[in-house]
Structure 1
Amino acid sequence: MTRQSPVRSGHLMASLLLMIGLIGLVFGPVSASPLTRLTLGTSSVGGTYFVWGGGWAKIMGEHVKGVDISVEVTGGPATNIQLIQQRKMDLGFTTVSMAYQGWNGLDWAKGKKHDRIRAIFPMYASVLHIYTLESSPIKTIYDFEGKRITTGAPGSTSDVAGRDVLKLLGITPKKISSLPTNTAVDALRDGTADAGFAVTGLPGPFMLDLETTHKVRHIGLSKEDLDKITEAFPYYSAGVIPKGTYKYQEGDVPTVTFWNVAIADKDLPDDLVYNLVKATFENKEALTKVDPNAAQMFAEGIKYSTVPLHPGALRYYREKGIKIPERLLPPQ
């Protein structure tokens, strides 16, 4: 029997190891559980969506095996919907009002129906702030007539809602400026704006900042106006900024509220979405440490969605015994 020399055996072993190394370089590490990489559309840096998204993505990475979520800076709700429709994003955050308009091709969607989006879980309610300085002669929203008004960044929920409300109530300002909230606050401070709209969770960081330098008047809406608004825009809800939220409130401030929802591309695997939704609610306490607004998150809140659910999300809510309205069932 022929025996190989130790030297030749060593050469064969070295060659084999070299080949394995080269395969590893070409194909990457072998893994029993391939990593699923997802992208999440949020908002501008420092925005609630961006902060919320960073915390949520980290928690999902820790509790959903094999998932890695990359948090992307975007223009906010409408942009997130558009990116999912274009298959450039897997997940996103939006308000139910923007989702409704996108799904039906209304307003900002300009006739294009964004039919790839599916709701997966409710997040928290944002509130429409209508405000001016206490030194201003403006007392009600009708005093916005002929004044310089700021809304929000172009295409933001604040921008759309502010313009919707003004148009519906027949109010014509001298000028409407679509400015990011921090820029709008600066305009109010330096006298180049008279009043503004802003949509955010409670308390709004921009308002806390403004109240450190100026006394603020929080402007509420009458029941008659709220009824008119919610009838015209079924995706808006009546709510309040509770007394004590801000330093210069005299009581509850009646206003419009908007639920925020997480959305996903319709083609994401059902099991993946189910696990994301399940892990989200099981880690609510951790999310609340990221953003106190997460305390508002409850499974029954999915009823506030204005677009159908992803099948994976539907499975979770049915397991919890939550009745889902027919309008939210996934299209066949």
Structure 2
Amino acid sequence: MTISTKWALAGAGILIASMTAFGAANAQERITYKSAKSGTSYYQMGVELANAIKAGTDGEAILTVEESQGSVQNVMEAAARPGNYVFTAPPSLVTAAAEGKGPFADRANPKFAEIRSLFPIPSLTMHFVVNAEEGAKTLGDLAGKTILLGKGSFGATEGEKYLELFNLKDKVTVADAELGNASDALKNGQIDGFVTAGSFPAPNVIEASAGSPVTLLSMSDEEIEKTGRSRQVIPAGTYSGVEEDVVTTSLPVVAFSTTEMSDDTAYLVTKTFWEEKAELADESRWWAAVTPELLAEGSVKLHPGALRYYEEAGIEVPDALR
């Protein structure tokens, strides 16, 4: 082999190595994000999060938001989706899947045990909205009222549970209508109030409070303890005409992935979320309710990449999540 040939081969090797390094440096992590039905606040959150991750990583990570029919579907797909799959669900549902209980009793899969937490997102917060003219202040004041619960949602199921739990089931008339009609029905006097669950400020409660004076009912600490849910405060001024803090319950919601996501990608996504959270809260107020303290509401171990970020940031992590 001639010297010139050796130099040519060496030069080619350097070029190939340089191109490989350039490609690696400019590799783009593509991530599927599955949350909720389009048109819902949680779908909107997904869009906002996708924009924040793209901006915060200078396009290094791209989230593609997919519509979902709900948390059970999200968890089910975690057993089949390869690679970078991120989804949202209550931690209790993921725990039920890993244990083969609840909706997963007949659909157990060992891959459910590979689901890992990344970061909390706005909780599902219960809202008991009543026409202010009714003078209601507490759940007990719902007696004799006509209330809309809706159908098939967490809020409807939870609302029905509370009526049973606080001996109101036979004292309240439950309207047979869709929750989407709640604001008009309240304004027209067809119902006295409605129950809904979502991040706050919730769009349907904003609409209702803009159309007529409303009151949001508060719960006592004893009532909250009886529900088994987390205590949540909706700050005064969140909704038009509601000038006092409202104490209610909530169900934590978390963004999850699986062990198929690399540690570096989980680290990048988690770090970027927290670094962009202030910008997210400026865009939509529901992000302001997300704090590191919400980690304590979780029950599913953190992804090692996410844990690395929390340890670097000096954020306290419950032992159960390690």
TM-score range, shorter chain: 0.7 to 0.9
Secondary structure at 1:281's aligned position in 2?
helix
Deviations along 1:160-179, one digit per CA (max 9) or x if unpaired, are 33233233323314447684
Q: Please say if residues 201 and 285 of structure 2, whose CA atoms lie closer than 8 Å, have aligned partners that are also in contact.
A: no
Deviations along 1:1-21, one digit per CA (max 9) or x if unpaired, are xxxxxxxxxxxxxxxxxxxxx
Deviations along 1:116-137, one digit per CA (max 9) or x if unpaired, are 4321012234431112213447
Aligned equivalents of 1:307, 1:164: Cα separation in 2:
25
Give the aligned residue type for 2:125.
V
Q: CA deviation at 1:322?
A: 3.2
Q: 2:197 aligns with which of 196, 199, 216?
A: 199
Q: Please say if residues 159 and 178 of structure 1, whose CA atoms lie closer than 8 Å, have aligned partners that are also in contact.
A: no
Aligned equivalents of 1:74, 1:127: Cα separation in 2:
20
Give the aligned residue type for 2:85.
D
1:221 aligns to what?
219
Does residue 94 of the first structure (1) align with residue 89 of the second (2)? yes
- Structure with higher Rg: it is 1
Q: Please say if residues 44 and 75 of structure 1, whose CA atoms lie closer than 8 Å, have aligned partners that are also in contact.
A: yes
Residues 1-332 of structure 1 mapped to structure 2, 5 A cutoff = 32=24, 33-64=26-57, 66-87=60-81, 90-96=85-91, 98-104=93-99, 107-109=102-104, 114-136=112-134, 140-144=138-142, 148-152=146-150, 154=152, 156-172=153-169, 173-175=172-174, 179-180=178-179, 182-229=180-227, 233=228, 236-249=229-242, 251-329=244-322
Aligned length: 293
Q: CA deviation at 1:274?
A: 0.9
Q: CA deviation at 1:62?
A: 3.5
Q: Please say if residues 77 and 95 of structure 1, whose CA atoms lie closer than 8 Å, have aligned partners that are also in contact.
A: yes
Secondary structure at 1:283's aligned position in 2?
helix
Aligned equivalents of 2:124, 2:67: Cα separation in 1:
20
Structure 1 unaligned regions, length at least 5: 1-29
From the superposition, tell whether residues 166 and 86 of structure 1 become closer, same or farther in structure 2 (CA, over 3 Å). Answer: farther
Query: TM-score, normalized by length of structure 2?
Result: 0.76
Q: CA deviation at 1:269?
A: 1.3
Give the aligned residue type for 1:257.
S
From the superposition, tell whether residues 295 and 144 of structure 1 become closer, same or farther in structure 2 (CA, over 3 Å). Answer: closer
Q: CA deviation at 1:110?
A: 5.3
Query: TM-score, normalized by length of structure 1?
Result: 0.74
Give the aligned residue type for 1:68.
I
Give the aligned residue type for 1:124.
P
Deviations along 1:148-167, one digit per CA (max 9) or x if unpaired, are 5333552x332333233233
Q: Please say if residues 77 and 157 of structure 1, whose CA atoms lie closer than 8 Å, have aligned partners that are also in contact.
A: no
Aligned equivalents of 1:109, 1:166: Cα separation in 2:
27
From the superposition, tell whether residues 251 and 108 of structure 1 become closer, same or farther in structure 2 (CA, over 3 Å). Answer: farther
Aligned equivalents of 2:62, 2:256: Cα separation in 1:
17
Give the aligned residue type for 1:159.
A
Q: Please say if residues 149 and 174 of structure 2, whose CA atoms lie closer than 8 Å, have aligned partners that are also in contact.
A: no
Aligned equivalents of 1:102, 1:74: Cα separation in 2:
18
Q: CA deviation at 1:76?
A: 3.7
Aligned equivalents of 1:292, 1:174: Cα separation in 2:
33
Aligned equivalents of 1:304, 1:78: Cα separation in 2:
19
Q: Please say if residues 30 and 61 of structure 2, whose CA atoms lie closer than 8 Å, have aligned partners that are also in contact.
A: yes
Aligned equivalents of 2:265, 2:177: Cα separation in 1:
38
Q: CA deviation at 1:321?
A: 3.1
From the superposition, tell whether residues 315 and 110 of structure 1 become closer, same or farther in structure 2 (CA, over 3 Å). Answer: same
Secondary structure at 1:50's aligned position in 2?
helix
Q: CA deviation at 1:31?
A: 5.0
Q: CA deviation at 1:56?
A: 1.5
Q: CA deviation at 1:105?
A: 5.0
Q: Please say if residues 132 and 213 of structure 2, whose CA atoms lie closer than 8 Å, have aligned partners that are also in contact.
A: yes
Secondary structure at 1:248's aligned position in 2?
coil
Give the aligned residue type for 1:171.
L
Aligned equivalents of 1:324, 1:200: Cα separation in 2:
26
Q: Which moved more, 1:209-218 or 1:290-299?
A: 290-299
Structure 2 unaligned regions, length at least 5: 1-21
Q: Please say if residues 41 and 76 of structure 1, whose CA atoms lie closer than 8 Å, have aligned partners that are also in contact.
A: no
Aligned equivalents of 1:106, 1:165: Cα separation in 2:
23
Q: Would you tell me which structure has more helix in proportion to its own residues?
A: 2
Secondary structure at 1:240's aligned position in 2?
strand
